[in-house]
Amino acid sequence: MSKPTRLFDYLKSNIDTAGRNLKLAKRENGGWKTYDKNEVIQIVDSISKGLVAKGIKKGDKVALMSGNRPEWNFVDFACNQLGVAIVPLYPTLSPQDLSYIVKDAEAKMLFVSNQELVFKVEKAVAENNLELEIYTLDEVPNQRHYSELIEYGKQQDTDLKPYNDAVQPDDLLTLIYTSGTTGKPKGVYLTHENIMSNVGACVPLLTDEIKKALSFLPLCHIFERMVVYMYISKGVNIYYAENLDNIVVDINDVKPDVFTTVPRVLEKVYDKVIEKGKALTGIKKSLFFWAVELGHQYQEPKVNGAWYNFKLAIARKLIFSKWQQALGGNIKFIISGGAALQQRLARVFWAADIKVLEGYGLTETSPVIAVNSWDPDDVKFGSVGRVLKNLDVKIAEDGEILVKGPSITVGYYKNEEATKETIDSDGYLHTGDIGELTADGFLKITDRKKEIFKTAGGKYIAPQVMENKLMESVLIGQVMIVGENKKFPSALIVPAFEELEKYCKIKGISFDSRESLLKNPQILEKYQQEIDKANENFGHWEMVKKFVLLPKEWTIDNGELTPKLSLKRKIILQKHEDEINKLYAE
């Protein structure tokens, strides 16, 4: 058969799936409701016919605001086979950004998942006089349910073939608005070919033994969305988890072969495992921490010696096998993206025979630029893997990573100025990240270009590297390094309050509020010790000299984090100006 060239070809063409039969599944009435491939196609076609009858045509945009569920992809495929672009909306968007995006994208229709999001959307629509037809995925009183559109579509005698045939590989597939850490959201313009070229370059990761996946990272991010297309193209069964609340239950229920994650989830898994280890006693506890320490010393598989491998085999049998069971028992590998993964986590999970593959990319690159492999000979800890074969990556003189290839966006929707800033005249996209290519072809990210700052002494500080090191402490929930044009770097720290309260219990420290606790000399001394430990890894000028403990977590709702949970540094600096000034006044 001919090679798929439009996204819906993955669903409607007879692609070799190594004998796997696609199923999409969601939680319903305490179990899992599944849809086989034929049911999926029928639903998708009915929605498409309903959209055509409603006057939606090629080139239009349809917005979609929902957590992960099969319906997300039903609507997505129904639109993309008509040449209609999906505009995914983060469920956590502020009302201002929501209104701006819907208006800027000129969305004609909006699918929204539940009652709570309907309130949010209706408010934005009313305040901005937006013309939008709304359908819900859950049953919501006084709202049109998307099943009405399916039924309406079933009544139409529409031949979809001419609509399918009109869709070209370079047609717009989706507009994804990136919030960025400053300014208004920008609509990244991605075509069928952009995303499909990325699927094609990453799909070799899915070996024939991968039959079942769990999807819980937001589909409104291009990372999870591209991976789901990859699963669909290979007939992998996808179980959608709508939120992270029951993720451990879902993992143990589904027993997936693979899932994607962000480092924060792995950090929490690791912290929970260590907590259980601390509750052990005697020989069991000693064995547990011996295995963990051994895991942290794990090198790339081909580097580990015979004596180390002998000890590791014992650790795997006695201790690490239980870690695998905690993740369902079938994991072949986990793909981690979205932020830097602590090396010690990558090492200890690989030691436990849970292969975590760190990758790297941007929305603008559909998204993967580089990724490590499950192949023991093709992984390097501390790197984001080899650059994909269909991309050309070079390092600019100032260290910035530049990338060119078929998965690179043509630019930002209705924003020529931002496009020119990001893509140069030679077609290279400037990632804004600083990195290096190793002699054996692995890419390492060292920092964000825009986040690097100079101290008053003229020394450069790369905050992310230091923040990642500090985040290894279980007592630190969030951290931001400050000190631009100051004598030395300092840290704003939001404690991991759950862990801190446990520490207080053990030490018999009583407190009546978070604020009073964070002024307690014993607590300040403990955090100083954590900082001293992290400082050992840095040059004298990079060491954190002072810190302040903050009682309130940074959140998306309060404007301190982007929907991808990146720090909005300018906002955090403004909000904590007084605390920062005090640090440098003393």
pLDDT digits (tens, 9 = 90+) for 213-222: 999 999 999 9
CA–CA gap between residue 22 and residue 237 (Å, rounded): 5
Q: Using DSSP, how many helices (H) and how many strands (E) does the chain show?
A: 22, 26
Q: What is the pLDDT of residue 183?
A: 63
**Which amino acid type is present at position 453?**
F
- For residue 175, pLDDT over 60 is answered with yes
Q: CA separation (Å) from 175 to 61, 63, 179, 232, 561?
A: 8, 9, 13, 21, 21
Q: What is the pLDDT of residue 539?
A: 77
- For residue 586, pLDDT over 80 is answered with no
Each residue of 106-151: pLDDT tens digit?
999 999 999 999 998 988 888 778 888 999 999 999 999 999 999 9
In three-state secondary structure terms, 510 is: coil
Q: What is the pLDDT of residue 182?
A: 52
Q: What is the pLDDT of residue 382?
A: 93
Surface-to-core class of residue 204, CB atoms within 10 Å of its CB (0-12 exposed, 13-18 middle, 19+ buried): exposed
> Which pTM was predicted?
0.84
Q: CA separation (Å) from 245 to 67, 251, 268?
A: 12, 12, 13
Q: Which CATH superfamily is domain 262-441 in?
A: ANL, N-terminal domain (3.40.50.12780)
Q: What is the pLDDT of residue 179?
A: 67
- For residue 95, pLDDT over 80 is answered with no
**Which amino acid type is present at position 538?**
F
CA–CA gap between residue 267 and residue 273 (Å, rounded): 10
pLDDT range class, residue 5, cuts 50, 70, 90? very high
5 in Cβ contact with 164 (< 8 Å): no
Q: Which CATH superfamily is domain 9-254 in?
A: ANL, N-terminal domain (3.40.50.12780)
Give the whole-number percent of the chain exceeding pLDDT 70: 99
CA–CA gap between residue 227 and residue 187 (Å, rounded): 21
- For residue 459, pLDDT over 80 is answered with no
- For residue 1, pLDDT over 70 is answered with no
Residues of the chain with CATH 3.30.300.30: 450-585
Of 10-19, 433-442, 501-510, which range is least confident?
A: 10-19
Each residue of 287-344: pLDDT tens digit?
999 999 999 999 999 999 999 999 999 999 999 999 999 999 999 999 999 878 889 9
- The chain-wide mean pLDDT, for the chain, equals 92
Residues of the chain with CATH 3.40.50.12780: 9-254, 262-441
Mean pLDDT of 462-478: 89
Rg over alpha carbons for the chain, rounded to the nearest Å, is 25
Q: What is the pLDDT of residue 464?
A: 83
- For residue 564, pLDDT over 80 is answered with no
Q: Which two tokens stand for residue 41?
A: 């196609």
Mean pLDDT of 447-453: 76
Residue with tokens 């899915």: 206
CA–CA gap between residue 349 and residue 466 (Å, rounded): 22
CA–CA gap between residue 17 and residue 21 (Å, rounded): 8
209 in Cβ contact with 257 (< 8 Å): yes
The CATH number of domain 450-585, selected from 2.115.10.20, 3.30.300.340, 3.30.300.30, 3.40.50.300: 3.30.300.30
